[in-house]
Amino acid sequence: MTERDAAIKLVYKSVRGRAPFALEEFVQMLRLWEVIPLHENGQVIGGVLVKDNEVHIGYGEKPKASIRQHLRKTLGVVLDKHGFAITTVQAENEAGLRFCERLGFVKLGEEGGTIRLRCDRSNYL
């Protein structure tokens, strides 16, 4: 299994309770996405998904150390290239929303239980 595969499985693990699709469908949906594995102690613990200016992050278990370094690098590239980044969070995922807001994302609106967010400048750059 490649690091990309491992990262996708861990991201899926983080959303599978809210995802209306199986792992195989998730893998197919991400075939055109860049997947950046997140590492801790030499192990893949999750991933950052990037397509154009859209970013998502997920990990199998909460990291023991800061992942700011990964996010700073990844989000910085997206902001430099596109001028802003977007993401979505499910309304019931309060921890995910707080995490995005700490990064610098601001709420644009909510529709059907999904909150849309935009980041023009990361708080970690």
Q: What is the pLDDT of residue 19?
A: 75
Q: What is the pLDDT of residue 125?
A: 64
C-alpha dist (Å) from residue 124 to 63, 74, 88, 96: 18, 11, 19, 17
CB 35, CB 49: distance < 8 Å: yes
Q: What is the pLDDT of residue 96?
A: 87
Q: What is the pLDDT of residue 73?
A: 77
Q: Which CATH superfamily is domain 3-119 in?
A: Gcn5-related N-acetyltransferase (GNAT) (3.40.630.30)
Domain ranges of the chain: 3-119
pLDDT along the chain (125 residues), means of 10: 94 85 92 91 90 91 76 84 94 90 94 95 78
